[in-house]
């Protein structure tokens, strides 16, 4: 929108007063636009030619009856910034609801990972039904996290949580196959898990997600891809 400034026609200055005026060339800045204009100084006041003012401000000057109409474009700098709604969370941070659901999902996956690692390293039996109970809890927690995701950071972190769960499922399936094939003994050595790339990927992703939850900000270091 353009604002209209209506200036009433100024009475002509009497000749003897004009003789006392001082006219100088000055730099005038309007809405970030600067230019040289002639400024008439008299009785402590400064007067600028309206035509020069309109040209400098990219405005228009018109005459309607006894009125002088000066139209100047609105300055974007003078438009107050729209304050963010209190009901809308900052998209650079996690929402409170997602933080709660995400931490719960991480906790369930960690419990699954720790229980399975402890079982194979101590030679405990591992069955599909036993594993399924952990998988089901983790999947349900992830669904709740997806429902709670509302900000950009929530959605990005949700994808990393999904990657973590997918990798955990792959590792769990691999362990179950090893038990089925009577080949689980290879995971019982002290260095077995340290030398397992998929397990280490899951572990590194867990550490990255924990650091994110502590900061409350999305930070992707590539560990969960």
pLDDT band at 58, cuts 50/70/90? Answer: confident
DSSP codes, 33-59: EEEEEEEEEETTEEEE-HHHHHHHTT-
pLDDT digits (tens, 9 = 90+) for 3-52: 444 443 344 333 444 445 566 666 666 665 666 767 666 666 776 666 66
Does the structure show a pLDDT above 60 at 140?
A: yes
Sheet holding 60-64, edge to edge: 2-8, 67-73, 60-64
pLDDT digits (tens, 9 = 90+) for 181-222: 888 777 777 788 999 999 999 999 999 999 999 999 999 999
Nearest to 6 by CA among 77, 73, 61, 79: 61
State the residue for tokens 């970030």: 32
Nearest to 48 by CA among 24, 15, 74: 24
Tally Cβ neighbours within 10 Å of residue 133: 12
The whole-model pTM stands at 0.59
């Amino acid at each position: 929108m353009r604002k209209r400034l209506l200036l009433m026609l100024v009475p002509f200055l009497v000749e003897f007063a004009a003789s006392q005026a001082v006219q100088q060339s000055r730099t005038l800045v309007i809405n970030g636009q600067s230019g040289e204009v002639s400024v008439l100084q008299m009785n402590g006041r400064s007067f600028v030619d309206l035509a020069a003012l309109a040209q400098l401000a990219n405005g228009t000057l018109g005459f309607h009856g006894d009125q002088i109409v000066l139209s100047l474009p609105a300055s974007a700098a003078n438009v107050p910034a729209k304050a963010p709604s209190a009901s809308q969370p900052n998209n650079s941070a996690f929402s409170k609801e997602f933080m709660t659901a995400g931490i719960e999902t991480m906790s369930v996956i960690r419990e699954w990972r720790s229980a399975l690692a402890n079982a194979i390293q101590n030679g405990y039996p591992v069955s599909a039904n036993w594993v399924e109970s952990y998988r089901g809890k983790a999947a349900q927690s992830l669904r709740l996290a997806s429902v709670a995701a509302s900000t950009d950071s929530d959605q990005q972190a949700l994808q990393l949580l999904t990657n973590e769960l997918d990798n955990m499922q792959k590792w769990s399936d691999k362990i179950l196959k090893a038990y089925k094939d009577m080949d689980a003994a290879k995971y019982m050595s002290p260095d077995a898990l340290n030398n397992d790339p998929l397990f280490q990927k899951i572990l590194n992703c867990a550490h990255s997600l924990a650091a994110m939850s502590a900061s409350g900000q999305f930070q992707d270091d590539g560990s969960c891809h």
